[in-house]
Amino acid sequence: MRRSLLLAILLIFGLFLSLTFGQTLTATAKYGKPKIDAEMDEVWKNAEEYVTDRYVQGVKGKVAYAKFRVLWDEESIYVWAEVYDSVLNKDNTNPWEQDSVEIFVDEGNEKATSYDNNDAQYRVNFENVQSYGTNASRDYFVTATKKTDFGYIVEAQVKMRTRKLKEGDVIGFDVQVNDADRFGSRVGIIAWNETENENWRNPSYLGNLKLVK
CA distance 189 to 102: 10
Where are the chain's structural domains?
26-212
| 191: nearest Cα among 96, 88, 87 | 96
Chain segment 99-110, per-residue pLDDT in tens: 999 999 999 999
CA dihedral 54, 18, 122, 173 (to 10 degrees): -110
Phi first, then psi: what are they for 20, rounded to 5°?
-80, -45
Band (pLDDT 50/70/90 cuts) for residue 127 is very high
Confidence of residue 145 (pLDDT cuts 50, 70, 90): very high
* The predicted structure's pLDDT at residue 144: 99
pTM, rounded to two decimals: 0.90
CATH class, range 26-212: mainly beta
How far, in Å, CA of 57 to CA of 195, rounded?
9
**14-50: pLDDT as tens digits:** 433 333 346 999 999 999 999 999 999 999 999 999 9
pLDDT, average across residues 63-77: 98
Distance separating alpha carbons of residues 76 and 71, to the nearest angstrom: 9
Structure confidence by residue, pLDDT tens digits, 156-182? 999 999 999 999 999 999 999 999 999
